[in-house]
Amino acid sequence: MQATYVEAIRQGIWEEMERDPNVFLIGEDIGVYGGAFKVTQGMLDHFGERRVVDTPIAESAIVGAAIGASFMGLRPVAEMQFADFISCGFDQIVNFAAKCRYRWNAPVPIVVRAPCGGGIHGGPYHSQQNEAWFTHTPGLKVVLPATAKDAKGLIKSAIRDNDPVIFYEHKALYRRIKEDLPEGDYTVPIGKANIHREGKDMTIVTYSAMVYVAEEVAQLMEKEGVSIEIVDLRTLTPLDEETILTSVRKTSKVIVLHEANLTGGFGGEIAARITEKAFESLDGPVLRIAAPDTPVPYSPPLEKAYLPDAQKLLEKVRWLAEY
């Protein structure tokens, strides 16, 4: 059965709620309205108010309450209306949830869902890809699925995970991506990258919506005789270093691509690890492609110029292929 990315996440949450009565949802406008992006549509009717909790506008209360409920044996799935507003619950996430296991060996099995990303003309406050705020915080798992299949499998893993997971859903993918999902109950492991496309001449390491930009370029380059391998990280922390290094050792050339802005972006970490651990295999510099270091602009021509796209990637791919 074909399902969109949004439907896949919805199914994943639904199945977990059916499976485990301790799973419940908490967030703004998730009940009657079904969430700003309709991920939780129909859940209030099916699971009732006890398990689908509409909250006041209070991100710190949402995250804090999720943490507290998790101590008592529940498995909260919290929704941020936009990833941008996760900042309002930031302290609870980075200073408490992330450190509980380390400080006093307390598991915090919460999922914080965060609709992220640009390309929807949301402007600076409704477009951010702010995963680096959390990858810098030990103790959090940061997951960003690109495909519907992974989105479903990973949300299920996230809900079953005993550590706090920040689950980024790309808004531009919600209704754009449609694919066949495996039958029945399946999960996709957190911390495991996926070879989205096999190739031998160059590796593009990427995640979230940029997987499709990489795919577009890989198809174009195939016609020019350059075979590109795409590593879809799916999880940033904990990082599947092995899959990255194996691919790089095979292709010897690598570009790291992400939608978040360049400086302090996770691409820097990947590039550094590759040069540290696979330097001898490299036939060229490790390149990064990311958005420029500005807020996400609103006006369509500016936003287009801002977002990494096939054209920008192609330029660097050709350059590196020639290198």
Ligand X SMILES: Cc1ncc(C[n+]2csc(CCOP(=O)(O)OP(=O)(O)O)c2C)c(N)n1
Which listed range, 100-108, 132-140, 275-283, 286-294, lies at the site for another protein (CB under 8 A)? 286-294
C-alpha 230/C-alpha 232 separation (Å) is 6
Residue of 126, 170, 196, 258 marked active site: 126
Question: 3-class DSSP state for residue 6?
Answer: helix
Position among 208, 297, 308, 317 found at the interface with another protein (CB under 8 A): 297
87 binds another protein, rule: CB under 8 A: yes
Burial class (CB in 10 A: 0-12, 13-18, 19+), 301: exposed
Contacted by 20, from another protein, ligand X, none: CB < 5 to 8 Å by type: none
Q: Which residues of 59-68 are buried (b: 16+ CB within 10 A; e: fewer)?
A: beebbbbbbe
Within a 13 Å sphere around the CA of 310, how many CA atoms are in the beta-carbon half?
A: 9
- Is residue 293 within the footprint of another protein (CB under 8 A)? yes
CB of 226 to ligand X, least distance (A): 44
* 33 scored as a contact of another protein (CB under 8 A): yes
Among the listed residues 88, 220, 262, 310, the single contact to another protein using CB under 8 A: 88
Minimum Å distance from CB 79 to another protein?
13
- Binding partner of 201, given another protein, ligand X, none, CB within 5-8 angstroms per partner class: none
- For another protein, the closer CB: 94 or 231: 94
- Which parts of this chain interact with ligand X (CB under 6 A)? 28, 57, 59, 81, 85, 88
* Residue 186 near residue 153, CB atoms below 8 Å: yes
d(CA 136, CA 295): 20
* Shortest CB 88 distance to ligand X, Å: 4
Q: Residue 279 carries which DSSP code?
A: G
Pairing of β 194-197 and β 228-232: antiparallel
What percent helix, strand, coil does the chain show, rounded to 5? Answer: 40, 20, 40
CB–CB of 302/124 below 8 Å? no
Name which position in 21, 48, 189, 292 contacts another protein (CB under 8 A). Answer: 292
126 annotated active-site = yes
122 is an interface residue for another protein by CB under 8 A: yes
Among 3, 23, 25, 36, binds another protein (CB under 8 A): 36
Q: Is 57 in the site for another protein (CB under 8 A)?
A: yes
Q: Shortest gap between Cβ of 300 and another protein (angstroms)? A: 6
Nearer to another protein, 81 or 237 (CB): 81
- Angle formed by the axes of helices 241-251 and 266-278, to 10°? 60
Amino acid 78 reads A
Amino acid at 256: V
Residue closer to another protein, measured from CB, 34 or 145: 34
Contact 232, 207 (CB under 8 A): yes
CB 5 within 8 A of CB 177: yes
Kindly state the smallest distance separating residue 28's Cβ from ligand X, in Å.
5
CA–CA separation, 307 vs 205, rounded Å? 17
Q: Does 125 bind another protein (CB under 8 A)?
A: yes
Residues that bind another protein (CB under 8 A): 28-29, 32-33, 36, 54-61, 81, 84-85, 87-88, 120-126, 292-295, 297-302, 304-306
Which of the residues are catalytic?
Answer: 126
